[in-house]
Amino acid sequence: MQQPINLNQSLYMRWYEEYRERRYLEEQSDEVVAQRARDLISNILTLESNGKIGCVQGSVQSGNFLWCLFSHLLEESRLRTASYQGLFIKCGIKETLAPKPTAPDSPASEAILSLFKEKPKHRYLFKFGERKWMQELVDEGKLRVSPASFYNDDSLAPAIADDELSYDLAGDAFDEEILSLDPFKTRLIDSFGPVTPRPQKVVMQTNYYAWCASFGMSLRLFDDFNADSLVVIRDVGEYSRRLIQALRPHLGGWRFVPCVVHYFDPFHPSKKTKSVFACKHFKYLYQEEFRYVFIPTSPIKTLPPIHLNLGPLKDIAELIHRS
């Protein structure tokens, strides 16, 4: 039976309490918990328009999600070490992938800062990259569509490297989606029940192609992606049409899936995680990725990159330099 939520109780105290009811990290090693802390801190920290480091607000849905999980970590640290900071001091958090402050200098040009302020008003796609390649994308429509296996490479930047063909879950998938839960109405144990550890690996049975961009405008992505320029795709529908048309001779009959990436928590996965090609660990949540996915009709292990020329994109896209 669900217990009523005490709305007079502070939110973080409620999160501590709900974690004690469902202590899902209890059996995990200190290092696993510490890495989870690094992933959460990476998402909680932001690069602001004044060049200083800020924090994601709890008033947004992803903010509630992140602060809730971070509160659980603090409580786990207290239960293990008798201190909210104990586990962090023991394992360290210096390896956290955090945004880089630029203050007193501006983090970007005035044109980019203007876009940063306007982003809630528009449905654009943003492609971050080196000036040479971004210039070619706008002037000639030149781009590379890479196989998913390409990204499983530790030599890539940490914000880019990822296994796009499989991932690990700590238990079974749930009907509920933790990112969409209302912390003012729902307790974790009421949605997910008692902890029942059942580690499993979810594997995509075929390689596939993906072209990725961001639907958000996070200033930190310039540093995370080693980028000095940004292409703003203002007419996403027309860009999609041209991309599909250019790929058709290469991928006839393949399934085309444009999708907003679903970010999951391995300890609270939803059934959406069955679609490996559309899912990523929440440590990448701040990237707000939109991707075009192309899936073969039968399993293929090895795929070469595809180089395309869509033609000039100046009528639907704009190149802006960081500085």
Tell whether 162 is covered by a domain: yes
Return the pLDDT at 172. Answer: 73
What residues make up the domain containing 285? 11-321
- 155 within some domain: yes
**Residue the block writes with tokens 């449905």:** 123
Confirm whether 190 is domain-assigned. yes
Q: Show pLDDT as tens, one digit a residue, over the chain (323 residues).
A: 455 556 566 888 989 998 998 899 999 999 999 999 999 999 999 999 999 999 998 766 688 889 999 999 999 999 999 999 999 999 988 889 999 999 999 999 999 999 888 876 778 999 999 999 999 999 999 999 999 999 999 999 999 999 999 998 887 777 667 766 666 666 676 777 778 778 888 899 999 999 999 998 899 999 999 999 999 999 999 999 999 999 999 998 999 999 999 999 999 888 777 789 999 999 999 999 999 999 999 999 999 999 999 999 999 999 999 99
- Identify the pLDDT of residue 120: 64
Residue 122 lies in a domain: yes
- What is the number of structural domains in the chain? 1
**Does residue 97 belong to any structural domain of this protein?**
yes
Q: Is residue 126 part of a domain?
A: yes
Asked whether residue 4 is domain-assigned, the answer is no
For residue 5, is it within any domain?
A: no
Q: Give the DSSP H/E element, type plus range, for residue 112.
A: helix 110-118
Who contacts 287 (Cβ-Cβ below 8 Å, separation ≥6)? Answer: 159, 214, 216, 218, 221, 224
306: left (phi over 0), alpha (psi -120 to 50) or beta: beta
Determine the pLDDT at residue 288: 94
Residue 256: what pLDDT?
95
pLDDT for 1:
46
